[in-house]
Structure 1
Amino acid sequence: MNRKKFVALSLLTSMAACTVPNSDKKINYNNKLFISVPSSMYSAMKLVKDIYQNKNSDIEILYNSGSSGALQQQIERGAPVDVFISASSKQIDFLLKKDLLIKESSKIFLKNTMVLVASSKSIEKINLNTLINGDFKKLALGELRSVPAGQYAKEALISLKVYEKLEPKFIFGKNVRQVLFYVESGNADLGIVYITDLKNANDVRLTNIPYNLHSPITYQIAIVKSSQNIDEARKFINFLLVEKTQNIFQNYGFIGINNQKNLI
């Protein structure tokens, strides 16, 4: 897939932040940085983009957003991505084994927390016993094969020994935003999402899912080997690792990691 086609694809993605290029002008891709961003951190990354571009007006940041699994598959198929951010180490590790990422650029730079949510209109009180008792009709999860939040949710349900019992109640979203939409719209009684998804949520109740019920939720970042803009990609990653930017993510509910001593 060439870069022109990728821009067109991103424009059709509802959460992509691409600008329509002027077809009358020759496009210079040297001043563009293509970043694949998991849906769960898209809102925070929009703010990061604005701040970065104010300081670096010569570069244009273009986001392509979706589930980490879907973004991984795009890179495998040759999509012209410069930087890949994943909500799980699984996708990064897979692409490293395929020799599609620059190993030295791979960093864990954020963590997150899982929560059980319900619409305030559907369930008055919510806690882990709400799951264990199973007194509800539908539970929304991220797709188990491609959405890390769905995989973490499955691990938690298995730890609680309710996965098989609740399996007939599952409905799946293609990303965490869709899972939350199912709950807010009343299509699901409950959903399992990241706490960071709730910053702009409407009328939901929540309870934390203990961290020991699932694998650590780590966000990893790496430069794609085929990038035509490796120096700019490295500069952008370093920007995400410094304290000021980490504070932005923490304001959205992420858990920051001090990687400033390990800039690439």
Structure 2
Amino acid sequence: MQKQLTAILAALCMMWAAGCGAQTSDQQTAPQQPSAKPAETTLMVSAAASLTDALNELKTAFEREHPGVAISYNFGSSGKLASQIEQGAPADVFLSASKQDMDRLEEKQLIVTDTRVDFAKNELVLISSASSPLALSSFEELGDDAVKHLAVGEPTTVPAGRYAKETLEHLKMWDNLSDKLVFASDVRQVLTYVESGNAEAGIVYASDAAISPKVKVIAAAEPEWHNPIDYPAAVIAASRQADTARMFLAFVTSDKGKAIFKQYGFHE
């Protein structure tokens, strides 16, 4: 009987050992799990607020063609964005609404000079709320008593405000309208003031007026009333992703990029 128990135990031990061996073999030959998806490259783009809608669409198109790259925007007035870059804020590309702010960075060697390119132009327009009863038809009529608040960008930091000031100074109206002026932190805030009725009129880019059904264009400024409204772009000198930044700028200036900007009221 004892011999039978010993034989049975021996057989069980052999079966257990065989099972462990098979399990070890299975573990050794199991296929490896696929490696994790490589981390995306995030490109930091500081851009003028007036470019918001066009650049959001351009982001979708660019990322579709470059799945390993994600675009992150920092929108604001060009003057403030330039100041942020001067102070060391992270940025790979700067898209400005004025040459003046880009010139500041170039003079301080904060951009890669050979990447600088003008990629779009704009126009300056006078707007009011779409439901406004104002009977204005020109900039020259802004002195009318019906206009109690005129929204413009802050001239020292907002290019649209700078162009607005140049226009009104050309018409010899800036000083006379000083009591009516409502200053905004960027051109999109000017648009909001007029849309909400907090200002009877405002001066924005044609591209801003084009994207809002809540405003109407009263008049367009003559080109000779202000400096040319050109949009320059450049790679930031401190960028650690200069090649990717150049690739993004190439897309901005490509036929696809130009078509997107044109769709949102910009022109070449």
Fold-level similarity (TM above 0.5) = yes
Aligned to 1:14: none
Distance 1:185 1:229 in 2: 41
Aligned to 1:119: 129
Q: Which amino acid aligns with 1:103?
A: T
Give the deviation of 1:120 after TM superposition: 3.0
Distance 2:100 2:258 in 1: 23
Distance 1:123 1:238 in 2: 45
Q: Is the 8 A contact 1:126 1:205 kept in 2?
A: no
Q: Is the 8 A contact 1:184 1:202 kept in 2?
A: no
Distance 2:211 2:110 in 1: 35
Aligned to 2:202: 191
Aligned to 1:82: 92
CA RMSD of aligned residues (A): 1.7
The one of 173, 194, 200 aligned to 1:162 = 173
Distance 1:79 1:229 in 2: 15
Aligned to 2:215: 204
Give the deviation of 1:176 after TM superposition: 0.8
Distance 1:116 1:87 in 2: 18
Aligned to 1:68: 78
Q: Is the 8 A contact 2:151 2:202 kept in 1?
A: yes
Q: Match of 2:67, SS? A: coil
Aligned to 1:213: 225
Aligned to 2:251: 239
Q: Is the 8 A contact 1:32 1:60 kept in 2?
A: yes
The structure having more radius of gyration, on CA atoms, is: 2
Q: Are residues 1:177 and 2:180 paired?
A: no
CA 1:50–1:173 in 2, change beyond 3 Å: closer, same or farther? same
Q: Is the 8 A contact 1:132 1:160 kept in 2?
A: no
The one of 226, 232, 236 aligned to 1:224 = 236
Distance 2:69 2:130 in 1: 43
Distance 2:200 2:106 in 1: 39
Give the deviation of 1:158 after TM superposition: 0.5
Matching of residues 3-82 of structure 1 within 5 Å? 31-82=41-92
Give the deviation of 1:210 after TM superposition: 1.3
Distance 1:200 1:99 in 2: 35
Distance 1:203 1:103 in 2: 40
Aligned to 1:153: 164
Give the deviation of 1:135 after TM superposition: 4.1
| Paired positions, count | 230
Distance 1:240 1:75 in 2: 21
List gaps (5 residues or longer) in structure 1.
1-26, 257-264
Q: Match of 1:137, SS? A: coil
Q: Deviations over 1:77-115 (max 9, x none)?
A: 111100001000011100111111111111111100000
The one of 249, 254, 260 aligned to 2:266 = 254
Q: Are residues 1:131 and 2:142 paired?
A: yes
List gaps (5 residues or longer) in structure 2.
1-37
Q: Which amino acid aligns with 1:179?
A: V
Give the deviation of 1:247 after TM superposition: 1.2
Distance 1:70 1:49 in 2: 22
Give the deviation of 1:123 after TM superposition: 3.5
